[in-house]
Structure 1
Amino acid sequence: MVVERDDLLDESSSAAAPLPQEAVRVRLDRPRADDLADLVFLANNKTVAANLATMPHPFSLSDGRAMIAKANLHRPDTACFAIRLKATGRLIGIARYANVEPGGPIHVGYWLGEPFWGQGLATEAVHALVDHAFTYHDIEELQGSCRVTNPASRRVLVKSGFQYRDQAMIRSVGAGGSVPIERYTLERAVWKSLKGWGQGR
């Protein structure tokens, strides 16, 4: 669960590039209205919200509808995906990337529902997300971050090729205030060298 910026995705678009994006056990594609029940069930989790920047808690049906609607709008260098189990098609989380500011860095964010933690699914989803961003957009660098108290997200970022940059503070709605985060970056050149995810790792 990387710190994300939902407020930046008011015009997000998973239609910005071809879909779906496949991994071994998960698929990234467009969130749909029929995902609403799973989305609200999984997102309405205090621990999930506390690891993100703008996820409200409690997470309501109206929050879910708004998230799905935002994911289907258009904005350059931005995409918002449902993370789905390939075996069932069920939504298990959200992955996205977006401009932090016009002309600024592209920030990746993701979360998985708690029943799906600890299975390597987040790493697969982030690999697919990174591949999508670098393949379909003229992006030279991606940024990601996680709370310092979230070693699982740290491992996902590192396994995805991100390199530690520094620490900072960010306000988290779910945590109820400012929290320390670690910030990471992944350059296109590094991504190219790691394109065969999992080889020698």
Structure 2
Amino acid sequence: MVVESDGLLDESCRGAAPLPQEAVRVRLDLPRTDDLADIVYLANNHRIAANLATMPHPFGLADAKMLVAKAEAARGNSAVFAIRLTVTGRFIGVARYAELEAGSPVHVGYWLGEAFWGQGLATEALHSLVDHAFTYGDMRELTGACRVTNPGSRRVLIKSGFQYRDQSMIHSLGAGGNVPIERFNLERAVWSSLKTWGGRR
């Protein structure tokens, strides 16, 4: 996920940058300390952790506090956002983008609490996240990935304009070993064309 930083907020920090545009049913903003109980409740789920690379399981209060700290410290081509229901403001998941390694393409990631799966909320959140990344970042492309056993996440990526690239293996903390994944990418030029086409509709 996002590299730790002890620096203070500045103009390049996501906390100082405009937040993503609100979607129909969800909005993205910074996770807060008053979200900690909800973060732990939703994230402490093996079915979620097993589909991600770096989420620990079990997921406790210290992990939730680290998530909030990472969101506050994110800079440059990285951001960590809480996904909230627009109507109630309830925390339901996380959406983020960051370089996995220095110099690597910027990678998107997301998760929702299990009670919110299958409703199209992750797709709305990823659309908002992608728009924010390309609007305020300088990356030429975004990458994404999902386990080959996770068709729901594959649909989210494809509906957000990502194109299939290849298959690979990654180590998943939650799964307890290496798992096969499908990798996708979205170029800035493709995103710009999709936004223009959508506006003409």
Decide: shared fold, TM above 0.5.
Answer: yes
Residues 103-142 of structure 1 show CA distances to partners (whole Å, capped at 9, x for unaligned) of 2200000000000000000000000000000011111100
**What's the % identity of the aligned pairs?**
70
- Bigger shift: 59-68 or 152-161? 59-68
Name the CA distance, whole Å, in 2 between partners of 1:68 and 1:24: 25
Match of 2:58 in 1: 58
Which of structure 1's runs of 4+ aligned residues deviate more than 4 A?
Answer: 196-201
1:10 correspondence with 2:31: no
Name the CA distance, whole Å, in 2 between partners of 1:196 and 1:94: 27
Contact 1:14/1:29 (CA < 8 Å) preserved in 2?
no
Higher relative contact order (CA 8 A, sep 6+): 1
Match of 1:40 in 2: 40
Q: Which runs of 5+ in 2 are unaligned?
A: 7-12
TM-score (norm 1): 0.91
Change (3 A) 1:160 1:196: farther
Contact 1:33/1:68 (CA < 8 Å) preserved in 2?
yes
TM-score (norm 2): 0.91
Change (3 A) 1:200 1:80: same
Change (3 A) 1:117 1:20: same
Cα drift, residue 62 of structure 1: 1.0
Q: How many residues align?
A: 195
Residues 41-99 of structure 1 show CA distances to partners (whole Å, capped at 9, x for unaligned) of 00000000000001111111111111111111132110000000000000100000001
Aligned counterparts, 1:15-164, within 5 A: 15=15, 17-164=17-164
